[in-house]
């Protein structure tokens, strides 16, 4: 027969404290409780976290909103691209004649058959940077 130390029974109800949101540590807690999330203790940690969050949002936005027309690689070959005549964002000629400000304005306001997207400035800037990285691919 095996004996388990400390397993005489469940703890008494009076010894248990009520669970609160403070008992759970997550950066999403502020969304549920209306409070700001806990800040990282390392200097600069919040900026790294914010940059990582923006990068994730840029990637998610690209995949969910842009690839259906522009394609994964930005060549205008998404499932809707040929029908809508989406430009090939990788062409050096196209990249050379469109400024970053024009790209941002097109993302925010739309142009021709492209709808407007109501996105935070850091995400728009991230999409512009991502489009610039497509050049010549």
| pLDDT for position 51 | 85
What's the token pair of residue 61?
Answer: 């936005």
The domains located in the chain, with CATH, are 53-133 (1.10.760.10)
| pLDDT for position 29 | 45
Dihedral angle computed from the Cα positions of residues 109, 70, 95 and 126, in that order, rounded to the nearest 10 degrees: 60
Q: What is the DSSP string of 50-110?
A: HHHHHHHHHHHHIIIIIHHHH-TTSSS-STTHHHHT---TT-HHHHHHS-HHHHHHHHHH-
| pLDDT for position 78 | 95
| pLDDT for position 5 | 54
10-residue averages of pLDDT along the chain (137 residues): 58 66 52 47 66 91 95 95 94 95 96 93 96 89
């Amino acid at each position: 027969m095996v004996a388990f130390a400390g397993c005489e029974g469940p703890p008494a109800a009076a010894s248990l404290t009520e669970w609160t949101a403070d008992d759970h540590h997550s950066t999403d807690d502020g969304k549920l409780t209306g409070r700001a999330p806990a800040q990282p203790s390392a200097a600069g940690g919040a900026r790294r976290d914010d940059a990582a969050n923006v990068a994730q949002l840029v990637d998610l936005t690209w995949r969910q909103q842009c690839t259906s027309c522009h394609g994964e690689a930005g060549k205008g070959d998404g499932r809707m691209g040929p029908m809508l005549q989406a430009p090939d964002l990788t062409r050096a000629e196209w990249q050379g004649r469109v400024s970053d400000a024009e790209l941002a304005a097109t993302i925010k306001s739309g142009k021709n058959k492209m709808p407007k997207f109501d996105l935070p400035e850091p995400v728009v800037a991230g999409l512009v940077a991502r489009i610039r990285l497509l050049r010549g691919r």
